[in-house]
Structure 1
Amino acid sequence: MSRLSNATRALVRPRRNKVVLIVLLVVALIASFTVLGGYTSTSGGEAAVVRNGGPFDDNRVRVVLDPSSRRTWIGIGSQVHRYPAQQRFFTITTDAKRASTLGVDTLTISSNDGVSLGIEGTLYFSLNRDHRVLRDFDDRYGTRRFRGQDNEMRYPWAGEDGWTAFFGQAVRPVIDNSLRTQISGFRCADLVPSCAFMQQDPTKPRGLITNEESKANFTRIQEAINTSLTGDIERTLGAPYLTGFRFTLTRITLPPEIQKAINEGQAAMAQLYKAQADVRRAQALAAADKARQEGYRACPVCAEIDKRNGQR
């Protein structure tokens, strides 16, 4: 019996050692992955704000990482909030299909004389990468969620969807207000010269604004927006978190029914000009014929000469 027990123990001992070894290996792997997870880096197009998140840490900002950073020890359990470091752009279009994509939207503004104008343009800007400013931005906005177009709530650092949700709720209203303020001060014809065809009597056509004058008005709008937008957004957000604003107004369109009316007005104006030209031509021919007849009466021989030459 004693011999059997010794033999059994001899067989069990190696198995137990194997189990212990496997457990130790698993623990070592888990520890290695945990330690490795305490390192991070950034790509060329992003900056990161790292917040403490370990079981014995607070939730304060630990460090800010610049784009293309080296692998950096950030501690175990820390949160990494990644923000876009490259120049961003926001597109305003009249194409509803394009507006379904991220960073693109539609906007309609009434002119000074009440015509609905579709705006097309692009706003360029960048996130302020100053470490102190970026820390403050993460404290103020990186800890809040914003509602996106799909009605989902996301943090600004949660990818493109998260950034678009933040921009749409916090920044977009300021842009809209600035555009409305500047564009609503102009008449439709000041920005779209063909609007004049809709607003005047075809029988008494007035001079139209030239394309050069229209382009000059575009430039005035752009300069006014670029001058005011930086201050407006800084006051709204509470600090210069976004910088380098530059708006380019590319085109202003009219509603289809108004554009159709203008096209018809232009066609009617063309017909009017043609009719007036025909009248003037007929008057000129009649005047020439009258002058010729008077000449013949004064010179009967001239009439015979023209008749022989086939000019009469």
Structure 2
Amino acid sequence: MRGFSFGALGVALVIALVGSVVGLWAGFAKTDGGEVAVVRNGGWFDDNRIRQVIQPASGLTWVGMWSKVHRYPAQQRYYTMTADPERGGRPGIDLARSPSGDGVEMGIEATMYFTLNLDAQVLRTFDDKYGTRQFRYGKDDLLYAWDGVDGWNAFFDGAVRPVIDNALRFQLSTVTCAELVSSCALVQFGANGTVPASTPTVAAAGAQNNANISKIEAALNETLAKDIERNLGGPFLQNIRFNLVRVTLPGPVQEAVTKAQAAFAAVSEAQARVAQAQAEAEANKKRQEGYNACPACAQIDMIKALPPGVTTYAPGSGVAVGQ
């Protein structure tokens, strides 16, 4: 019985020793050049409050036994909305969609660049507000903002993306579809294919579209940072720059535009054939007037028009002309 007690005590001491060694080893942490860390107490008898903030590219730092280290990106980040499923901030195809002023749903491809505010006090507040809750990534996964790239994207998609969508919705409501995509005018002029005289040329329309897109981009860069700070509850993101890459039309509208373009091309081709026929008729008329004034000229032209190899031309009335 006594031997059993000493054996059990020995096992307990070994377990305690191993646990202490592991705890001591895990009590040190350091950050890479592209990350910042917020450390929270996590020992058996500790609270869960923030213990310290470790700035990027730190040396080995004592963070306490069993503490939790929340690592966030410290370098410039970007969030992309695109039709390319390999590049977007969300899984799969991710276009920001919002209606124009005349009710056409537009697709927006854009990228937002930003950096996380590395001020220690700001980071503490950020971790309290957003590092202690999970965000949905995809359909089922729930991740923390410090759970790697996917975790950060889940946070951004849940907390910041709605602010971007709202800002885009407001800006797009100030312009019409044709002011952003010139081909949109093709389906708005009606099935008769008539175009108002005031409609700019293709080159001018393209220039106007680019100018309007640039205005929206400038307006977003002016207001988006304030909107995000107000909605997140602090200046957590800095150096925000919004780059509006492209505006697209929804599938049904684009199909209508393609059909309208084909119809306009067919009309142009028919108009060209009519113009050619009119020109040929006018030329024939002028030619006939010349022949009426000079009958011999008509005969000369007829002889010139004979195919190679013909040696005798007999127009009738007993007349034959040899070449």
Q: 1:34/1:95 Cα in 2 relative to 1: closer, same or farther (>3 Å)?
A: closer
SS at match of 2:185: helix
C-alpha contact 1:96 1:106 (8 A) present in aligned 2: no
Give the alignment of 1:120-131 within 5 angstroms.
120-131=109-120
Paired residue for 1:50? 39
Q: Quick check: 36-45 or 94-103, which moved more?
A: 94-103
Aligned pairs for 1:1-312 (under 5 A) are: 26-94=15-83, 101-102=90-91, 105-151=94-140, 153-201=142-190, 202-206=192-196, 207=199, 208-210=201-203, 211-310=206-305
Find the aligned partners of 1:94 and 1:112 in 2 and give their Cα distance: 23
For structure 1, the residue ranges without an aligned partner over 5 or more in a row are: 1-11
Q: CA RMSD in A?
A: 3.1
Q: Is the 8 A contact 2:84 2:92 kept in 1?
A: no
Counterpart of 2:26 in structure 1: which amino acid?
G
- Summarize the Cα distance change of 1:222–1:298 in structure 2 as closer, same or farther, 3 Å threshold: same
Shift of 1:297: 3.1
Higher helix share: 1
SS for the counterpart of 1:193 is coil
CA contact (8 A) 1:94 1:119 kept: no
Which letter does structure 1 place at the counterpart of 2:212?
A: N
Instruction: Give the residue type in structure 1 aligned to 2:219.
Output: A
**Quick check: 1:147–1:154 contact (8 Å CA) kept in 2?**
yes
> What residue is the counterpart of 2:319 in the other structure?
none
Contact 1:50 1:63 in 2 (8 A): yes
Structure 2 CA distance for partners of 1:31 and 1:221, relative to 1, 3 Å: same
Q: Distance in 1 between matches of 2:247 and 2:118?
A: 34
Cα distance in structure 2, aligned partners of 1:170 and 1:81:
18
- TM-fit CA distance, 1:86: 2.7
Separation in structure 1 between the aligned mates of residue 166 and residue 298 of structure 2, nearest angstrom: 77
CA contact (8 A) 1:91 1:103 kept: no
Aligned residues: 299
TM-score, length-scaled by structure 1? 0.82
